[in-house]
Amino acid sequence: MTQTKQPAGRSSTSAGDFVAPISSTSASKFTPCSASDHNVLLNNFQLKKKSYRVLLHGQQLVWERLQKIKQSPQGNEAKAPLPPDSPAQPGGICSYGPQSHVLHLDDVVSIRSGDTKASSLKPPSPPGSERSSGCSGDVAQGKPTSQYLTINYAMRLSKSQTDCNRWELRRLTFFNSDPYIVRQWDQELQIRLHSSSPTRMRVRRLLVFINPYGGRKAGAQTYERHVRPIFQLAGVDATCITTQRANQVKDILLSHDLGVYDAVCCVGGDGTVAEVINGLIFRQMRELGLDEQRPPYIPRPALPVGVIPAGSTDTIAYSMHGTADVRTAAIHVILGQHRGLDVCSVSNGQSLLRFCASVLSYGYLGDVAAQSENYRWMGPRRYEYSGVKAFLNNRGYDAELRMLEEPDLLLTTPLEDIPQSPDSVCSLGESVPSVCYANCQRCSFASSIQEQRSSLFIQEESKEAERNQQVETEDSHLAASEAALLRPRPRPGNLRLPTGSISSMRNLGNDQWKVVRGNFFMICGANITCACARSPNGISRYSHLGDGCLDLILVKKTSLLNNVRFLLNTAGRSGDIRNLPFVEVYRTREFRFRTFSASEEDYSLAGSCQPITPPEEMTAHSSSTEFSSWNCDGEVVTDLDITMRSHCQLIEVFMRGPHSYSKPLKGGTTPTTPASSSDNVYCCCKD
């Protein structure tokens, strides 16, 4: 820890700035966030014409109000921190005392200094320009002139009664009459803001796809009004492409040079997100020279993805952020925190068809997807109309499903070996399933296992990949050898792995396939919760964003009343479909589907790896009452022999996950954040 030095030959300033070693009382409040040995800056600044002592320590900025003390014994006027008078700023995470305000640099969007307040408020210059690096307001070398320092940051509205996962932008403008101090703070903050972290990437050049056709056809306006200003504030250089047709996103991603971009972002609904994800994965397969129809493993794309909701349901964005708020999604892109998102491959007997990021659904939702395309002119209301039609016409669909049930980690792992984190609200091998939040322990654990697998078994799995390529059986074309070629995953922290966890993962292959036959109202393979504004818990409330598993939900065909019960249950906040006697939920990594009433010719109607079926074929197929279609991320797939397989954290997406928090306490007291494991269960939006 070092302290700052004032440049020689300058007089002290009227604001009472000083550079001082941290006092023992202040230092005792620190809870360092990173192990790196950062400098500590400590100076007085003015904020809204009031004096504050401001401290930069590690990745945390702390400011504490000063007040005048009448006279010191020596006769000098002095300043001291105010007594406790206001609660700490929400978002503060360290124990600095109740009167301190704490801002983590993870939540800072941009920093800019200026000679005047107005000039410090201007957005930073885009990357590549002279002023984009280092000191933003002054020429880095030479005599500084800036006295204002504006810090733009984002804050979650944790006290909001309507949407507590929403984030908003805020700013602080500090004043110091000594430009040397302002320059030093500016430089130090810029360095720390852009320092690399395995789970955070500050995007500089972004490729943005805008779908002007999805949802209410307002993608372009949404981007201009809400997203562009946020990207500008962060100094992001965004190249925008407004799509002209379906599948254009995928075609561009497959054919264009993406080397200059740090990330890809889409403004659209689930179909647009799926196009981006499919485009990036297929591109990676091409670059590696893999057979796209029968790849020996699924490679991880190089670029992370940002998702801005502008579609009809936006379940992917909602499941990622806990809200479909556009500004929140844009803020997550510029803050740059990313997590691995599971992606499922969908294949038929012959080849890989496509990748699915949210849900693959047969029966009721498949019928809705197939029919609603005919009523797109209605906008999002087409789902209600087609939904009622498909509901009344559903006579049940015969099907056979085979799956490997995910073993419960608790059964194979001694309890004391299960990693515990005070920040986490997700258990691992839980008897009561957990909900996936920010800092999800189940997903972190899956990530760690993935990393260990790729390093420990790389040689063995490479051999397995070779063997699989030689002996291509119907079942092995997507064999689980991808881990060998996955690059190591970023790890949020030092997570201790339970002993035996690796072997329990590897024993999966020896387990027995479970077979379920029946007549179903609906069959869903849910990769994520599939929550949306109308169904805040989603179809699959306990699905995790990155645990490498999917939830197979089987809704048996019983009575019309039960179908209504099921739909009401998924729409409400308090219901749990697991309690319904005609619903079965299995957690698995893979399932296979066949409809036993279909003849051989009925299989693989699409008959190729064409991901989206042509409309004529789709309509003809959907008119059959014996077979349904598949709804894959809102797009229609008509094959009748389907395998869905989850690929753990295959793609990095800009998100933190929905947040866990306590209800705001009565009397305006802010609950402590992050939530401890005991106060995680309530969302202030819930009742």
Ligand X SMILES: Nc1ncnc2c1ncn2[C@@H]1O[C@H](COP(=O)(O)OP(=O)(O)OP(=O)(O)O)[C@@H](O)[C@H]1O
Applying the rule CB under 6 A, the residues between 634 and 673 that interact with ligand X are 634-635
Smallest distance from the beta carbon of 195 to ligand X, in angstroms? 35
Interface mask (CB under 6 A) for ligand X, residues 131-170, using x and -?
Answer: ----------------------------------------
314 touching ligand X, by CB under 6 A: yes
**Closer residue to ligand X in complex, CB, 271/322:** 271
CA 440/CA 444 separation, integer angstroms: 6
CB of 457 to ligand X, least distance (A): 37
Instruction: Give the chain's end-to-end CA distance (angstroms, integer).
Output: 47
Q: Which is nearer to ligand X, 272 or 469 (CB)?
A: 272
Output the 3-class SS for 460-473: HHHHHHHHHHHCCC
Q: Give me the least distance between CB of 272 and ligand X, in Å please.
A: 4
Q: Would you say 191 and 201 are in contact if contact means Cβ atoms under 8 Å apart?
A: no
Total site size for ligand X, rule CB under 6 A? 22
Residue 353, judged by CB atoms within 10 A of its CB (0-12, 13-18, 19+), counts as: buried
674 preceded by cis ω (within 30°)?
A: yes
352 or 369: CB nearest ligand X: 369
Is 144 or 269 the residue whose CB approaches ligand X more closely?
269
What is 20-44 written as a DSSP string? -PPPHHHHTT---S-SS---EEEEE
Q: 218: which 2 tokens?
A: 């307002």
Residue 216 CB, shortest distance to ligand X, in Å, is 8
Q: Write b or e for each residue in 644-658: b if 16 or more Cβ atoms lie within 10 A of its Cβ, otherwise e.
A: bbbbbbbbbbbbbbb
Q: Find the shortest distance in angstroms from Cβ 214 to ligand X.
A: 2
Least separation, in Å, of the C-beta of 362 and ligand X? Answer: 18
Report the residue number, 106 or 270, with the smaller CB distance to ligand X. 270
Q: How many CA atoms lie within 13 A of 563 on its CB side?
A: 20
**In the window 575-604, what residues touch ligand X (CB under 6 A)?**
none
Q: Which residues between 200 and 219 bind ligand X (CB under 6 A)? A: 211-215
Q: Mark the segment that binds ligand X (CB under 6 A) among 101-109, 257-265, 305-313, 456-464.
A: 305-313
Phi/psi-derived region of residue 58, left when phi > 0, alpha when psi is between -120 and 50, beta in every other case: left
From the CB of 251, what's the least distance to ligand X, in Å? 10
Tokens standing for residue 509? 């292959």
- In angstroms, what is the minimal distance from the CB of 383 to ligand X? 7
Show contacts with ligand X in window 1-20 (CB under 6 A).
Answer: none
How is residue 344 written in tokens? 């499922």
Among 152, 190, 312, 469, binds ligand X (CB under 6 A): 312
* Shortest distance in whole angstroms from residue 180 CB to ligand X: 51
Q: Based on CB atoms, which residue is closest to ligand X, 68 or 376?
A: 376
| Residue 251 vs 430, nearer CB to ligand X | 251
Distance of CA 464 to the CA centre of its chain: 32
Q: Which stretch binds ligand X (CB under 6 A): 32-40, 135-143, 243-251, 440-448?
A: 243-251
Q: Say whether residue 185 binds ligand X (CB under 6 A).
A: no
Stretch that binds ligand X, among 31-39, 51-59, 245-253, 412-420 (CB under 6 A): 245-253
Q: Which is nearer to ligand X, 132 or 374 (CB)?
A: 374
Closer residue to ligand X, CB minimum distance, 272 or 604: 272
* Nearest alpha carbon to residue 281 among 198, 353, 335: 353
CA distance 69 to 76: 9
Rounded Cα distance between 261 and 239, Å, is 9
Does the annotation count 186 as an active-site position?
A: no
| 584, burial (CB in 10 Å: exposed 0-12, middle 13-18, buried 19+) | middle
Stretch in the footprint of ligand X (CB under 6 A) among 25-33, 150-158, 265-273, 403-411: 265-273
Confirm or reject binding of residue 611 to ligand X (CB under 6 A). Answer: no
Q: Which stretch binds ligand X (CB under 6 A): 91-99, 264-272, 458-466, 558-566?
A: 264-272
DSSP alpha helices (H): ranges in 203-325?
Answer: 219-222, 228-233, 248-255, 270-287, 315-321
Closest-approach residue to ligand X (CB): 269
325 binds ligand X per the rule CB under 6 A: no
Sign of the torsion angle spanned by Cα atoms 339, 136, 59, 195: positive
Bridge partners (DSSP) listed for residue 265:
208, 306
Asked if residue 358 binds ligand X (CB under 6 A), the reply is no
Burial track 30-63 (b if 16+ CB lie within 10 A, e otherwise): beebeeeebebbbbbbbeeeebbbbbbbbbbbbb
The DSSP bridge partners found for residue 552 are 525, 586
* CA separation for the pair 108, 60 (Å, rounded): 10
Q: Binder to ligand X among 114, 268, 306, 671 (CB under 6 A)? A: 268
For the bound state, the minimum distance from the C-beta of residue 386 to ligand X, rounded and expressed in Å, comes to 12
Contacts of 179 (CB under 8 A, 6+ apart): 138, 143, 144, 145, 146, 147
Provide the token pair at 247.
């599948």
Q: Which is nearer to ligand X, 190 or 622 (CB)?
A: 622
Binding mask 274-303 vs ligand X (x if CB under 6 A, - otherwise)?
Answer: -x----------------------------
Stretch in the footprint of ligand X (CB under 6 A) among 91-99, 242-250, 439-447, 676-684: 242-250
Q: Which of these is catalytic: 270, 342, 547, 633? A: 270
Residue among 76, 244, 579, 678 that touches ligand X (CB under 6 A): 244
| Angle formed at CA 683 by CA 679 and CA 687, multiple of 5 degrees | 125
Contact residue for ligand X among 120, 222, 243, 469 (CB under 6 A): 243
- Residues forming contacts to ligand X in the complex (CB under 6 A) are 211-215, 243-247, 268-272, 275, 311-314, 634-635
Which residues are part of the catalytic machinery?
A: 270
